[in-house]
């Protein structure tokens, strides 16, 4: 149930009137910082456009522009209808990934760079998850690969199913920052130059690799989990051709100083 602040609660001092030329950006910035500071919480409804316009001293069109920009940044969700309005949401990595994949689409960033960056993040994630995964996390991962195997048999396996595995793995790291970084790469996958053309055979390999990663996690064998993850992410990419010092590193078992269990 979304909460809504009364006009009186929100009114004095939370937002300041605007004077600069690009008023909508300034409004978006003020609302953004109220959200990241936690002064506006997830699920809260912003005051109606009319009220915001008065508070900021601008036109309703300008407020609308600001809300659109915040919506694109994943900080608010605008719902229509009787119980509608602009609601505060927590930005997700998936949205960030959208921009990253837009950049890739327009060749402002190379797919090789993305794969390399994703390797770093996912190899770190799997190391942390290996220490911190609870029994429930492991059960969820096991269920994911089993469902994946069933979907393969029924020919209904999709890239989304594959991504669900990585999402569950990131959750098992129990770290909101690590989770966010992992999710940032989500929508870049659909543009992967090789894997966009992948078929059933590649999906079968994916499920096999995921299963081996879960096996290693269950044994708390971080070295094997990392090697399996590296092989999984690099399959079908041309990263092996690139002189990446990471390749040597992954063949051994690197020390992970300092990453310790929190509870």
Residues that bind another protein (CB under 8 A): 24, 32, 35-38, 61, 64-65, 68-75, 80, 90-93, 95-96, 98-100, 102-103, 105-106, 108-110, 113-114, 116-121, 123-125, 127-128, 175-178, 180-181, 184, 243-246, 249, 254-262
Cβ at position 206, least distance to another protein in Å: 22
Place of tokens 């029924």: 154
Residues 109/103, Cβ–Cβ less than 8 Å: yes
Cβ at position 50, least distance to another protein in Å: 16
**Nearer to another protein by C-beta: 39 or 146?**
39
Cβ at position 7, least distance to another protein in Å: 24
**CA-based diameter of the chain, in Å?**
62
**Nearer to another protein by C-beta: 71 or 204?**
71
Give the residue among 239, 131, 141 at the shortest CA–CA distance from 194. Answer: 239
Neighbours of 79 (CB within 10 A): 12
**Nearer to another protein by C-beta: 145 or 225?**
225
Cβ at position 191, least distance to another protein in Å: 9
CA 141 to centroid of chain Cα atoms: 18
**Nearer to another protein by C-beta: 79 or 219?**
79
**Nearer to another protein by C-beta: 111 or 148?**
111
Cβ at position 212, least distance to another protein in Å: 21
């Amino acid at each position: 149930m979304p909460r809504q602040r009364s006009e009186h609660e929100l009114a004095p001092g939370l937002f300041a009137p605007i004077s600069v030329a690009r008023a909508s950006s300034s409004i978006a910035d003020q609302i953004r910082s109220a959200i990241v500071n936690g002064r506006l919480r997830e699920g809260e409804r912003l005051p109606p456009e009319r009220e915001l316009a008065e508070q900021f001293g601008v036109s309703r069109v300008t407020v609308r522009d600001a809300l659109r920009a915040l919506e694109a940044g994943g900080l608010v969700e605008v719902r229509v209808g009787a119980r509608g309005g602009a609601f505060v949401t927590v930005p997700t990595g998936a949205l960030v990934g959208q921009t990253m994949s837009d950049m890739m689409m327009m060749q402002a960033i190379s797919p090789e760079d993305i794969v390399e960056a994703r390797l770093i993040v996912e190899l770190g994630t799997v190391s942390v998850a290996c220490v911190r995964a609870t029994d429930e996390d492991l059960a969820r991962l096991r269920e994911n690969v089993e469902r994946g195997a069933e979907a393969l048999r029924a020919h209904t396996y999709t890239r989304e199913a594959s991504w669900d595995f990585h999402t569950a793995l990131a959750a098992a790291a129990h770290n909101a920052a690590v989770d966010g970084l992992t999710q940032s790469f989500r929508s870049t996958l659909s543009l992967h130059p090789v894997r966009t053309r992948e078929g059933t055979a590649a999906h079968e390999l994916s499920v096999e690799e995921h299963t081996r990663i879960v096996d290693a996690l269950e044994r708390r064998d971080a070295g094997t989990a990392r090697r399996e993850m590296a092989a999984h992410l690099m399959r079908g990419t041309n990263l092996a051709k690139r002189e990446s010092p990471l390749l040597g590193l992954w063949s051994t078992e690197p020390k992970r100083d300092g990453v310790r269990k929190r509870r």
